[in-house]
Chains A and B, each alone.
Chain A
Amino acid sequence: MDKDLQPRFEWLLRMGDTSLILAQRLGEWCGKGPALEEDMALTNTALDLLGQARLWLAYACEVEGAERDEDQLAFLRDSREFRNVLLVERPNSNYAHTLMRQFYFDAWHHLALRELEESADPRIGEIASKAVKEATYHLRRSSDLVVRLGDGTRQSHDMVQSAADSLWTYTGELFRNDEIDAPLAAEGIVFEPASLHERWSSYVNAVFAAATLQTPPSNTYMQLGGKQGVHSEHLGYLLAEMQVLQRTHQGAKW
């Protein structure tokens, strides 16, 4: 791969892996949702994200120019080679937790895709234009549920607040600039992560206010490393389950 293309390849892995890992996490709810309707809504979201992951990773393969396709990227890399943010690999825990993880992500994802629609790389712009419609619905749904459960019963409020607090430390990574984004942002190909933070915060604050939730303190220590390939133990278990078929029967197809 051309050295100039390395940041773009890395950046595409970050986008693709983040969608892929969250899709896998949501897929774990399949057949176990708290109601049939919620079960289907969550797995629809999972499939939307899986479709987006495929587009980002397929483009990553083209940029890389090596002899591998998006399936090989998804199923034959190890944890250290994944570039997803830490937030999306957090375990599902209870439904409030799953929902809050989704809300933090959707609020970022929607902003990110809207920026990417204007990318100087037309291919990135096209993928973003397709994905942003799905993300708009995801955000509407997760925001609505956060308000309903936050402003619901005492129990639902406490569960959602506790999820908001414990996942907060994983939100900072979404807005951290590094040497991968910098050259791409300078060319107008991608946004600078930090540039989304203010809009994200004001959106989250507005939804939390409507949900009678407290926004966790802004000086919280933020966990970093996912985008550089340094993951929590949880990703290893997730990958073991997601990759077992291709690892056992390499190249197996439907």
Chain B
Amino acid sequence: MKAEWPLWEIFIRSQHGLAHKHVGSLHAPDAEMAISNARDVYTRRNEGVSLWVVRSSEIVASSPDEKAALFDPARDKVYRHPTFFPIPEEVKNI
């Protein structure tokens, strides 16, 4: 039976979190049950206040072969980090 259930990726927003974070995956026959199953499998220890589920087959991933071309150029561009500016105390969540 389980072999026929598609795979879903699960994202949870925690109590104080601002963005949903990927926590894992599970099997379910449709989106509604994926939400139920995610609630039962991934939020048992008070992990979150909101759930997203996405069919794993809908996710487009970058190719590991292109890793060097995609990511290496950013490694030596330290000036792109906003560490050269003082940030006022009142500004949060940057």
A44–B32 contact, CB under 8 A? no
Q: Is there an interface contact between A37 and B40, defined as CB atoms closer than 8 Å?
A: yes
What secondary structure prevails in chain A residues at the interface with B?
helix
Q: Are A40 and B40 in contact (CB under 8 A)?
A: yes
B1 at interface (Cβ–Cβ under 8 A)? yes
Instruction: Let me know if B27 and A37 touch, CB within 8 A.
Output: yes
Q: Do B41 and A144 have beta carbons less than 8 Å apart?
A: no
Please tell me if the beta carbons of B44 and A37 are within 8 angstroms of each other in the complex. Answer: no
For the complex, give the distance between the alpha carbons of A93 and B34 in Å: 26
- Check A40–B2 contact: CB distance below 8 A: no
- Give the residue name and chain of the A residue nearest to B8 (CB): A37
Q: Is the pair A35, B5 in contact by a Cβ cutoff of 8 Å? A: yes
The distance in angstroms between the C-alpha atoms of A144 and B32, with both chains bound, is 10
Q: Tell me the count of chain B residues lying within 8 A, CB to CB, of chain A.
A: 15
Given A44-B40, A44-B44, A37 and B26 touching (CB < 8 A)?
yes
A141-B36, A144-B32, A144-B36 as given contacts; A40 in contact with B41, CB under 8 Å: yes
Q: A36, B26: Cβ atoms under 8 Å?
A: yes
Residues on B with C-beta less than 8 A from A137 are 39
A242 within 8 A of B: no
- Residues on B with beta carbons closer than 8 Å to the beta carbon of A148: 29, 33
Q: How far is the CB of B40 from chain A (nearest CB, A)?
A: 4
Contact between B40 and A35, CB atoms less than 8 A apart: no
For chain B, residues 23 to 77, give those with C-beta under 8 angstroms from any C-beta of chain A. Answer: 26-29, 32-33, 36-37, 39-41, 44
**Chain B residues, Cβ within 8 Å of A127:** none
The chain B residue with its CB closest to the CB of A38 is B37
Smallest CB–CB gap between B44 and chain A, Å?
6
CB distance from B9 to the nearest CB of A (A): 14
Residue pair A41, B40 in contact (C-beta under 8 Å): yes
Bound state CA distance, A141 and B33, in angstroms? Answer: 9
- Closest chain B residue to A44 by CB distance? B40
Q: In the bound complex, what is the Cα–Cα distance between A224 and B32 (angstroms)?
A: 38
The smallest C-beta distance from A39 to any residue of chain B, in angstroms, reads 9
- Say yes or no: is A251 at the interface (Cβ < 8 Å to chain B): no
Query: Interface code A138-172, partner B: CB below 8 Å = 1, 0 otherwise?
Result: 00010010001000000000000000000000000
Q: Can you list 23 residue pairs at the A/B interface with Cβ under 8 Å?
A: A34-B1, A34-B2, A35-B1, A35-B2, A35-B5, A36-B26, A36-B27, A36-B41, A37-B26, A37-B37, A37-B40, A37-B41, A40-B40, A40-B41, A40-B44, A41-B37, A41-B40, A41-B41, A44-B40, A137-B39, A144-B32, A148-B29, A148-B33
Known: A36-B27, A137-B39; 6 extra A-B contacts, CB below 8 A, are A35-B1, A35-B5, A40-B37, A40-B41, A148-B29, A148-B33
